[in-house]
Amino acid sequence: MKKIIVGYIVAIAVLLISIGLGISVGSVKVPISTLWNIGVDETATNILWNIRMPRVILAGLVGAALAVAGAAFQGLLKNPLADPYTLGVSSGASVGAVMTLFFSISTPILGIFTLPTFSMIGALFAMFVVLGFAKLVDRTMKMETLILTGIIVSSFLSSVISLMIALTGEELRQIISWLMGSVSMRGWPYIKMILLFITFGTILLWLNRRELNAMLFGEERAKYLGVNVKRSKWMLLLGGSMLTGSAVAVSGTIGFVGLVVPHITRLLFGTDHRHLIPLSFINGASLLILCDLIARTVIAPTELPIGVITSFIGAPVFAYIFFRQRRMKGA
């Protein structure tokens, strides 16, 4: 129990430090007093409040969403390799977004939200295809069936994306830069938009924390423990998809966070989903904020793609914790 409390304290401390660093450090030096002296220096205010702050918050939200979705999918599918991408949800989101760019769809009502909206629709559509097909194949929707269906659907959707890329001319650059993933220059409107989905998705997963724990013993056992497996599964899948869909919709495809953060958290603080979900949320936010900070400062004024940093930092950290944990257990 103590370990968990320490876990929360450390995680929150790291998050606060990350946010502090993320806001105060950048390729342009801005006096931190700009935070309260709004408008005194117009350029500094703009940089801090309209460029850097939304960026840090968005990175945090996206990281948190991907990490929580990853924790839920890994628990639900009992597959250590599961992440928000496994079920084809993010491929669906990508197809939605790439289609928007490919056909240059623009709807006056949605405005700048056209792409995220279509991306969300793509994510949900992919999820329903996966679930529908899995149900057709096997009425009980076993985990293996779900994973295989996810792979079928996501590889099909990936080829659809490749096809569209092959067929585009000029829009290619737009599509590629979207697929690369970034939290830069989205601004406050995007944050408001995804906040709702992320809150709702996280609550859905949180409500099923006990069910997730029970399902670790297998679906049959969970049933005997009084869990409505079917309902929980649907809620978890819906919540996870919503989180993934909204993250992909605003920031493109940022890999690795959803896979690694839950693992690191689990290795350090155990598998209890009552704590795994909130801790993954906090750690995911910290990780992506820090990765974005590095991406935009390490070779400033040039920016690196954030995905490069998530894998570059995430993989060795993951390897180190994995190694230490196994060694300590062995000893």
Partner 1 sequence: MKKIWQLGFLLTMAFVLLVGCNQGDTQKSSTEKNEKTTQTTDKTATYPMTVKDALGNEVEFKEEPKKIVSLIPSNTEILFALGLDDKIVGVSDNDDYPKAATKKEKVGGMEFNVEKVLSLKPDVVFAHESSAKSTESGLQQLKDAGITVFVVKNATNFEETYDTIKQIGQITNQPQKADKIVAGMKAKVKEVQDKVANVKQRTAFVETSDVPEIYTAGKDTFMQEIFNLANIKNVADDQSGWFKIDPEQIVKRNPDTIIVMEDYVPNIVEKVKKRQGFSSVTAVKNDAVVLVNQNLTARTGPRLAEGLEEVAKAVYPEAFK
- Of 155 and 228, nearer to partner 1 (C-beta) is 155
Q: How far is the CB of 100 from partner 1 (least distance, A)?
A: 11
Task: Name the burial class of residue 312, with classes exposed (0-12), middle (13-18) and buried (19+) by CB atoms within 10 angstroms of its CB.
Answer: middle
Alpha-carbon dihedral angle through residues 295, 298, 301, 306, given to the nearest 10 degrees: -10
- Of 156 and 200, nearer to partner 1 (C-beta) is 156
- Of 114 and 325, nearer to partner 1 (C-beta) is 114
Q: How far is the CB of 325 from partner 1 (least distance, A)?
A: 25
- Of 46 and 325, nearer to partner 1 (C-beta) is 46
How would you label 276-285 residue by residue, b for 16+ Cβ within 10 Å and e otherwise?
Answer: bbbbbbbbbb
Q: How far is the CB of 136 from partner 1 (least distance, A)?
A: 24
Closest-CA residue to 69 (of 244, 314, 231, 203) = 244
Q: How far is the CB of 2 from partner 1 (least distance, A)?
A: 38
Q: How far is the CB of 49 from partner 1 (least distance, A)?
A: 8
Q: Phi, psi at residue 253, to the nearest 5°?
A: -95, 110
Query: Which residues lie below 8 Å from residue 289, measured CB to CB, with a gap of 6+?
Result: 15, 18, 19, 21, 22, 56, 59, 60, 63
> Contact, 306 vs 256, CB < 8 A?
no
* Lookup: tokens for 218: 């297998």
- Of 14 and 313, nearer to partner 1 (C-beta) is 313
- Of 222 and 254, nearer to partner 1 (C-beta) is 254
Q: How far is the CB of 205 from partner 1 (least distance, A)?
A: 21
User: Under the rule (CB under 8 A), what is the footprint of partner 1?
Assistant: 26-28, 42-43, 45-47, 49-52, 54, 85, 90-91, 94, 104, 106, 154, 158, 161-162, 165, 169-174, 176-177, 179-188, 253, 255, 296, 300-305, 307-308
Closest-CA residue to 184 (of 27, 12, 15, 18) = 27
Q: How far is the CB of 245 from partner 1 (least distance, A)?
A: 13
Rg (alpha carbons) of the chain, rounded to whole number? 20
Q: What is d(CA 324, CA 71) in angstroms, rounded to the nearest whole number? A: 21
- Of 278 and 314, nearer to partner 1 (C-beta) is 314
Closest-CA residue to 313 (of 280, 287, 293, 285) = 287
